[in-house]
């Protein structure tokens, strides 16, 4: 069925689940035009808007922080990390082969390739190229960006390959044959759109795409799910489910697990609420679970992850819990569940992964990872008695995560272990067959011996205890003099866990800087309640948390306001916009990337309508009353002294869109506010770039801007 990350959530956040994801231009209306002089910048590819972008880019490129020898050095150091052959080539198993997508200097758009386990264990494995994207682009005269594949199991010879024209979410989908390493002539093919597509069998697909006017939701995702038969035109596909325009997305998918084949339809009504149906004999039967819960069917089991308490069968299960029952029993009306995970004040379920016979839980304990293995009972008459064992944990201040399993055929699992100062390792094991083996180990890209990692807690404005990680030189003197970069996100139940970054190590830490990650409310570090604490009218609590961390860094003597910088992107860009407008006195410079900023217009821009459950609906006067308090675009004042700010976005971002950053920068400049910088990359979608060179340029610009302004 689905993983813990729901299909519609993956769509809206950009998680690749095969061929997901039409470029949607911003909408305009007369009422908005009457009081917004910068509305013309919402025309993504408009001539006037693009002229403005080119002028701004030229100014920024000539700035001291983006054109100096130091900038070139920073960019080259980062690019060396991104292109390094020493990186771990992470793999996913499909049958007897391990597949990997790889980008480097010689292959900027990437190679989709494969090898065997025996070969992969070698220091320098031999790879078989399945698709060379750069060669494809040369042959077709395109600039395709690889966006993932969905291969038909168990043979894994036919795949639905997704290619974006510019790195955005909208993709073309084409059927690909692995044995011949070629696209299938006359095979399944879909034009560029925000598409959801998946195999039923060799000759049938479930597909949601742009079928014509009215077929997409207001959030810009598929409204209609259809079944499409090979050899027939897309127009002949039969409708399985048709949602409403206000729904977030509709999808259908087939579970091909041998012996447990099932079909499902999922209707996301908003970002955190949905309905799931079992499709059987042409009829849809709704799974009777709370609308804000997520369901996962695996073999004979049904797992339910709760976002709010649920009383059922005479028992109340808490929010954040993972509960299990037998699928057929549940569909027959039985409501006997076993609690597989129950959170407490310090723990939350980060994720889980099935192997053929076991379930691996990834638990966060004050934002540090630990793993548990659960084994379901063999007796088909029972739901309880799951056996529980601890898996070897990760080092302190680290993250351990399951990156792949083979749930149809074996108990194989792949783990990655990493930390702020610990380069990642990749381990492979088979549950029940002893300790995992370390298969790959990435070398260090900077000297970690000079630094230490510590976790701190600060009390936010309302008394909430908020954690943050600090990476600093071991000999740090608490004299307030250190350039410090504070990073945050705080939204959509996304957790910020310890991670290794050669780019940050080289471009920030090696210079003597301090790097800090704030685990503010709105994220998922402490489960659904931590997220829900900063929803809609409570959004400012996330900003209060971030400000509290900033103030604590100064109070402890790590830095001072003039030496403290902040960085965030997407929802984190909205966080940065609020730091800029509400807490300008706390920061010496801010980097605001692919951001939301105009919260009055966000639901009318690109995929913005999909986030109403997170922020609220600004078209409702009652909700606008609280949204306007955290809408940076509306809260600018020409008399306020703002810290230097760099806005970064991409023309091809069809999720948040470039208009938000454009308008904010233009409005600030129009007010005569100094030290406002803007840069827009043409490609890359809602990310840092379409290739490593573009990503290195963007990251170097941010780090050198902040380093320069915080001196």
Residues 248 and 331 in one domain: no
Residues 55 and 122 in one domain: no
Hey, what are 343's tokens? Answer: 């959170």
Residues 121 and 224 in one domain: yes
Residues 582 and 692 in one domain: yes
Confidence band (pLDDT; 50, 70, 90) for 34?
A: low
**In the predicted model, what is the mean pLDDT of the chain?**
94
Judge whether residue 21 has pLDDT over 80: no
Query: pLDDT, tens digit, for every residue of 235-287?
Result: 999 999 999 999 999 999 999 999 999 999 999 999 999 999 999 998 999 99
Give the C-alpha separation, 701 to 74, whole Å: 9
- Note the pLDDT of residue 225: 98
Does residue 305 fall inside a structural domain?
no
Give the C-alpha separation, 509 to 685, whole Å: 28
Task: Count the Cβ atoms, other than its own, within 10 Å of residue 532.
Answer: 18
Residues 68 and 197 in one domain: no
Cβ contacts of 319 within 8 Å, gap of 6 or more? 306, 307, 308, 309, 343, 527, 528, 529
Q: Does residue 484 sit in helix, strand or coil?
A: strand
Does residue 427 fall inside a structural domain?
yes
Cβ contacts of 637 within 8 Å, gap of 6 or more? none
Query: pLDDT, tens digit, for every residue of 40-62?
Result: 999 999 999 999 999 999 999 99
Give the domain-ending residue among 271, 296, 321: 271
Does residue 30 fall inside a structural domain?
no
Judge whether residue 6 has pLDDT over 50: no
Residues 472 and 530 in one domain: yes
Contact 613, 273 (CB under 8 A): yes
Confidence band (pLDDT; 50, 70, 90) for 29?
A: very low
Judge whether residue 107 has pLDDT over 60: yes
pLDDT > 90: percent of the chain: 92
Q: Which residue has the tokens 């391990």?
A: 98
Q: Average of pLDDT values for 661-667?
A: 98
Residue 299 falls in which region: left (phi positive, over 0), alpha (psi -120 to 50) or beta = left
Confidence band (pLDDT; 50, 70, 90) for 396?
A: confident
Give the domain-ending residue among 251, 271, 291: 271
Rg (CA), the chain: 25
Give the domain-ending residue among 400, 419, 441: 441
Q: Average of pLDDT values for 479-501?
A: 98
| First-to-final CA distance of the chain | 52
Q: Which residue has the tokens 């821009």?
A: 605
Domain count of the fold of the chain = 3
Edge to edge, the sheet with strand 249-255 lists 249-255, 262-270, 273-280, 283-286
Confidence band (pLDDT; 50, 70, 90) for 17?
A: very low
Residues 370 and 264 in one domain: no
Judge whether residue 406 has pLDDT over 60: yes
What are the distances in angstroms from CA 4 to CA 75, 293, 353, 502? 37, 10, 8, 29
Alpha helices in 292-355 (DSSP H): 327-331
Does residue 287 fall inside a structural domain?
no
**Domain limits for position 327:** 311-441
Residues 629 and 501 in one domain: yes
Q: Please identify every residue annotated as catalytic.
A: 570, 686
Closest by CA position to 490, among listed 551, 449, 540 = 540
Confidence band (pLDDT; 50, 70, 90) for 382?
A: low
Q: What DSSP string describes 134-181? A: HHHHHHHT---EEEEEEE-TTTT-EEEEEEESSSSS-EEEEEEETTTT
Does residue 306 fall inside a structural domain?
no
Judge whether residue 559 has pLDDT over 70: yes
Residues 527 and 390 in one domain: no
- Note the pLDDT of residue 395: 76
CATH number at 256 reads 2.130.10.120
- Note the pLDDT of residue 381: 66
Does residue 629 fall inside a structural domain?
yes
Q: What DSSP string describes 460-482? A: -TTS-EEEEEEEEETT---SS--
Residues 481 and 395 in one domain: no
- Note the pLDDT of residue 24: 30
Tell me whether the omega of the peptide bond preceding residue 154 falls within 30 degrees of 0, making it cis: yes
Q: Cα torsion at 20, 24, 29, 34 (round to 10°)?
A: 110
- Note the pLDDT of residue 383: 58
Residues 210 and 233 in one domain: yes
Closest by CA position to 700, among listed 36, 132, 225, 72 = 72
Q: What DSSP string describes 529-563? A: HHHHTTSGGGTHHHHHHHHHHHHHHHHTTS--GGG
Contact 565, 590 (CB under 8 A): yes
Residues 530 and 594 in one domain: yes
Does residue 25 fall inside a structural domain?
no
Does residue 26 fall inside a structural domain?
no
Confidence band (pLDDT; 50, 70, 90) for 398?
A: confident
């Amino acid at each position: 069925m689905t993983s813990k990350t729901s299909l519609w959530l993956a769509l809206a956040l950009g998680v690749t689940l095969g061929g997901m994801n039409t470029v949607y231009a911003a909408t305009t209306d007369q009422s908005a035009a009457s009081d917004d002089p910068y509305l013309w910048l919402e025309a993504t590819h408009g001539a006037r808007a693009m002229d403005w972008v080119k002028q701004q880019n030229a100014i920024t490129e000539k700035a001291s922080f983006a054109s100096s020898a130091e900038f070139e050095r920073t960019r080259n150091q980062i690019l060396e990390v991104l292109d390094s052959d020493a990186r771990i080539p992470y793999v996913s198993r499909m049958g007897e082969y391990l597949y990997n997508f790889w980008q480097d200097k010689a292959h900027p758009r990437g190679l989709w390739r494969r090898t065997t386990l025996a070969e992969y264990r070698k220091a320098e494995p031999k790879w078989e190229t399945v698709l060379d994207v750069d060669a494809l682009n040369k042959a077709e005269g395109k600039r395709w960006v690889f966006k993932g594949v969905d291969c038909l199991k168990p043979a894994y010879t036919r795949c639905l390959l997704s290619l974006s024209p510019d790195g955005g979410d909208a993709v073309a989908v084409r059927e690909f044959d692995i044995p011949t390493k070629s696209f299938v002539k006359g095979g399944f093919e879909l034009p560029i759109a925000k598409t959801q597509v998946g195999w039923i069998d060799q000759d049938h697909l479930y597909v949601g795409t742009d079928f014509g006017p009215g077929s997409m939701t207001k959030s810009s995702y598929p409204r209609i799910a259809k079944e499409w038969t090979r050899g027939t035109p897309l127009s002949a596909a039969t409708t399985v489910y048709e949602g409403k325009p206000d729904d977030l997305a509709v999808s259908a998918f087939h579970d091909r697990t041998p012996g447990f084949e099932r079909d499902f339809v999922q209707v996301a009504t908003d970002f955190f609420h949905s309905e799931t149906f079992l499709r059987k004999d042409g009829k849809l039967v709704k799974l009777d679970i709370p609308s804000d819960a997520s369901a996962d069917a695996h073999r004979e089991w049904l797992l339910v992850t709760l976002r709010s308490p649920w009383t059922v069968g005479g028992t109340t299960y808490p929010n954040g819990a993972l509960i299990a029952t037998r699928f057929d029993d549940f569909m027959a009306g039985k409501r006997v569940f076993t609690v597989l995970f129950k959170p407490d004040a310090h723990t939350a379920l980060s994720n889980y992964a099935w192997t053929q016979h076991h379930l691996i839980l990834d638990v966060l304990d004050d934002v540090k990872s630990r793993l548990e293995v659960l084994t379901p009972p063999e007796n088909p008459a029972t739901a309880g008695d799951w056996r529980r064992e601890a898996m070897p944990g990760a080092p302190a201040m680290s993250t351990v995560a399951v990156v792949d399993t083979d749930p149809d055929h074996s108990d194989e699992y792949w783990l990655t272990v990493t930390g702020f100062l610990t380069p990642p390792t990749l381990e492979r094991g088979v549950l029940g067959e002893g300790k995992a083996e370390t298969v790959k180990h990435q070398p260090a890209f900077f000297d970690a011996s000079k630094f230490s990692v510590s976790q701190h807690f600060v009390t936010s404005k309302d008394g909430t205890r908020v954690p943050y990680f600090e990476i600093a030189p071991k000999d740090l003197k608490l004299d307030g003099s250190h350039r410090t970069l504070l990073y945050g996100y705080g939204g959509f139940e996304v957790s910020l866990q310890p991670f290794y970054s050669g780019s940050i190590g080289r471009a920030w830490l090696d210079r003597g800087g301090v790097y800090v990650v704030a685990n503010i409310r709105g994220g998922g570090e402490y489960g659904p309640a931590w997220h829900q604490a900063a929803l809609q009218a409570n959004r400012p609590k996330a900003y209060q948390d971030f400000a509290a961390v900033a103030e604590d860094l100064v109070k402890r003597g790590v830095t001072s306001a003039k030496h403290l910088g902040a960085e965030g992107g997407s929802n984190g860009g909205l966080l940065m916009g609020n730091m800029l407008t509400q807490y300008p006195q706390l920061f010496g410079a801010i980097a605001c990337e692919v951001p939301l900023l105009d919260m009055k217009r966000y639901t009318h821009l690109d995929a913005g309508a999909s986030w109403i459950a997170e922020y609220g609906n600004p078209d409702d006067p009652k909700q606008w009353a609280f949204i306007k308090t955290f809408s940076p675009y509306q809260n600018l004042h020409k008399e306020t002294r703002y810290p230097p700010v760099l806005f970064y976005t991409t023309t091809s971002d069809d999720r948040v869109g470039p208009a938000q950053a454009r308008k904010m920068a233009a409005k600030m400049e129009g007010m005569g506010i100094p030290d406002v910088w803007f840069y827009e990359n043409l490609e890359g979608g809602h990310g840092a770039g379409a290739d490593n060179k573009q990503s290195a340029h963007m990251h170097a610009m941010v780090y050198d801007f902040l380093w320069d302004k915080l001196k």
